[in-house]
Amino acid sequence: MEIKNCPVCNNSNFSNHIESKDFSVSKESFIIVSCDECNFHFTNPRPSDENLGKYYISDHYISHNNSSRTFFEKVYQLVRKFATNGKFGLISSFFSSGRILDIGCGTGDFLNKCKSKNWETKGIEPSKIARDQAINNYNLDVEGSTDLSQLDGEFDIITMWHVLEHVPNLNETLVQFNQLLSKKGKIIIAVPNLESYDAKYYKEYWAAYDLPIHLYHFSKKSICTLFEKHGFSLRKTKGMKFDSFYVSMLSEEHISGKKNFIKSIFVGIISNLYGLFGKDGFSSCIYVLERSK
């Protein structure tokens, strides 16, 4: 499916940014283009909405999987626990409690943390396996439908942790945010950052391009441009310091078939130093957005 107009500014002239491939499932090649007008990067052409599902079937997609058999999975589970506490720390810096919507809530670890701290929670998760775990393990209120117009009332916080890059209807989603967010509410978006050191180092092997299931490839500037178009402004950004290591390991695996722990840790540390002291940002970033007025 070819995108004829830039999802952010509607311009129709694009340049090729990079060609990479689906390393996990199909091994097919895909192209990421950048808009000549606003520099927004997106996968083009991309699979049609109906065909996108088949690219998600992979052993590597462990974010919906609670197993901890190997050393790598054990570390991943530990990091996930740290990450859950970090995410909760961020939302509680804005509100002591309230109503939260987590879009793409996965197995519900983060929402369960919120629920245990007296937040009223609502989750959306299209994957049945993950959704069933969230419901059965934590007794959470989780919908399978991604149609946000079905939701009632307002939310103080709307979160999308590594989800916005997967959403086919980007602008419709942001229009819905306007309907669903309370007056002083915050939208929290975590996405990979294509200007990070590890993105530039690994080029077409950078695992966070994750083609073709990542439809958009964000930078801080493109997040701001997209959200400003819908009446939101950036309040705060935060780096995700663990992602550089995880992404570097997967990228190394794309190059050599091995995770190459030592080198991945080295690249991850450099990426985090660039995130801390440079201007291009961390491997993945969290953006907090609120209404412009």
- Residues forming contacts to Zn ion in the complex (CB under 5 A) are 6, 8-9, 11, 35, 37-38, 40
CB of 37 to Zn ion, least distance (A): 5
CB of 143 to Zn ion, least distance (A): 32
CB of 5 to Zn ion, least distance (A): 8
Nearer to Zn ion, 11 or 67 (CB): 11
- Among left, alpha and beta (phi > 0; psi -120 to 50; other), residue 44 is beta
Q: Are 161 and 217 in contact (CB under 8 A)?
A: no
Nearer to Zn ion, 32 or 101 (CB): 32
Nearer to Zn ion, 9 or 25 (CB): 9
Q: What is the DSSP code string of 14-45?
A: EEEEEEEE-TTTT--EEEEEEETTT--EEESS
Q: What torsion do the CA atoms of 225, 227, 233, 238 make, to the nearest 10 degrees?
A: -90
Nearer to Zn ion, 9 or 31 (CB): 9
CB of 104 to Zn ion, least distance (A): 25
Chain centroid, CA 6 distance in Å: 20
Q: Are 56 and 126 in contact (CB under 8 A)?
A: no
Which residue shows structure tokens 């919906």?
64
